[in-house]
Structure 1
Amino acid sequence: MSQLHSRDYERMLDLLVAVLENDDPASSGQLIAEQLRAAFDCNTVIFAELRPVQRTGRAEGWAPESLGASAEEVIRRRVLQNHPLISYMAADLRGPVIVSDICERWRHSQIYSEARRDYGTTQQLGLPLPPAEPGVLRAVSLGRLGDFSAHELAFAERIQPLLVSADRHIREQTRLREALAAADATARPVEDHGLTPRELTVLGLLAEGLTADGIGRRLTISPHTVNRHLEKIYRKLGTNNRVSTVSLARRSGLVV
Structure 2
Amino acid sequence: MDCGGAMPYLGKDDYERMLGLAVGVLESRQPETVWQLVAHELLRALDGTVLLMKDEEWTPSSGTVDAWLRDAPAPVEPVGRTAGFVRSGYPFATHYGIHTDREPRTAAQLVGDHAWRNSETASALRESYGTRHMLGLPLPDRDGAVRGFIVHRAGPDFDAQDLLYAARVQPLLSAAAAQCRLLARRRPAGVPAPPPGAPDAAGLTPRETAVLLTLAEGLPATAMARRLGVSVRTVHKHLQNLYRKLHTADRLGTVLRAQELGLLPRSQPPAAATPSR
The alignment status of 1:99 with 2:120, answered yes or no, reads no
Q: How big is the shift at 1:140?
A: 0.8
Count of aligned pairs between the two proteins: 245
**Contact kept? 2:82, 2:125, Cα under 8 Å:** no
> TM-score normalised to the size of structure 1?
0.82
Change (3 A) 1:131 1:210: same
The alignment status of 1:152 with 2:159, answered yes or no, reads no
> TM-score normalised to the size of structure 2?
0.76
From 67, 87, 90, the counterpart of 1:83? 90
From 62, 65, 76, the counterpart of 1:68? 76
Cα root mean square deviation, aligned? 2.9
Match of 1:138 in 2: 147
Q: How big is the shift at 1:128?
A: 0.5
Q: How big is the shift at 1:79?
A: 4.9
Unmatched 5+ residue regions in structure 1? 182-189
More strand by share: 1
Alignment of 1:1-256 (within 5 A): 2-48=8-54, 49-52=56-59, 55-64=61-70, 65=72, 66-70=74-78, 74=82, 76-80=84-88, 83-90=90-97, 91-104=99-112, 105-131=115-141, 133-134=143-144, 136-146=145-155, 147-178=157-188, 192-212=201-221, 215=224, 226-256=235-265
Per-residue Cα deviation, 1:24-75 (whole angstroms, up to 9, x for no partner): 22332122111212222211111124444x7544211211334523269755
Per-residue Cα deviation, 1:89-148 (whole angstroms, up to 9, x for no partner): 1111201112211111111111111111111111111111134544x3101111111211
- The alignment-based identity, stated in percent, is 37
Change (3 A) 1:67 1:209: closer
More helix by share: 1
Change (3 A) 1:13 1:68: same
Unmatched 5+ residue regions in structure 2? 1-6, 192-198, 266-277
SS at match of 2:187: helix
**Contact kept? 1:42, 1:144, Cα under 8 Å:** yes
Match of 1:184 in 2: none
